[in-house]
Amino acid sequence: MSITSSCIVGFFLCVLAAAVEQAAAPGTNIQQAPSQFGTVDLFVDSAKQQLAAWQMEFKATAGQVEIVGIERGDNPDFHDPPYYDPAGLKSNRIVVGAFNISEKLPVGKIRVARLHLHISGAQKPVYAVNLVVAGDQEGKPIAAQASFSEGVTK
């Protein structure tokens, strides 16, 4: 048997071993790791200032979480879903943001987006948000607070 033949035989043995191991794994995962869907609402609180633009980063810092969808918040002035990078879907972190050039701008705490999540595994997920920027009607950065609240999990 030549060296090349030995390599090929060894390679196939290793692949076979890996395939057997992977085939055994899903069965145990299905039993041990429950899968569910949930939502997280994102909020921006601009206090008394008008909110014309916002951008924040969301991340699941613990647990097996995939972001599977994004929808707009409940403020009619931000009527479109926020901008996001589609590459963030199917991962545990994403950057979302939106702006509004209308005259009537919201103030105070508003829900700006809702994230739909796929949660798997027994570990309870932990989330974090970071406000990247918030701006007023003049395009000036303003001090605002980002927060989130977990919705119903099914």
Partner 1 sequence: MDNTPEKNLDQWAEEGGPPRLKAGLAEIFGSAPAIARSMDDRILGAAREQSIRRNRMRWTIRYAIGSVAAAAAVVLIAIKMNRHDQPIVNDPTPAVATAEDFNRDGSVDMIDAFLMARKVAAKESLAKEWDFNHDGAVDTKDVDVVAFSAVKIKGGDLR
148 binds partner 1 (CB under 8 A): no
The counts of H helices and E strands in the chain are 1, 8
- Report which of 153, 109, 126, 143 is spatially closest to residue 59, judged by C-alpha positions: 126
Query: To the nearest whole angstrom, how small is the minimum distance from the Cβ of residue 23 to partner 1?
Result: 16
- How crowded is the C-beta side of 65, counted as CA atoms within 13 Å? 25
Interaction between residue 76 and partner 1 (CB under 8 A)? no
The Cα–Cα gap between 136 and 138 comes to: 5
Q: Is residue 52 near partner 1 by the rule CB under 8 A?
A: yes
Size of residue set near partner 1 by CB under 8 A = 44
Q: Quick one: which of 41, 95, 120, 151 contacts partner 1 (CB under 8 A)?
A: 95
Closest separation in Å from C-beta 91 to partner 1: 5
CA-to-CA distance for 26 and 7, rounded, in angstroms? 29
Q: Which residues pair with 97 in a beta bridge?
A: 55, 83
CB of 58 to partner 1, least distance (A): 9
Binding site for partner 1 (CB under 8 A): 1-3, 5-11, 13-15, 18, 52-55, 57, 59, 82-85, 87-88, 91-101, 128, 130, 132-133, 135, 139, 141
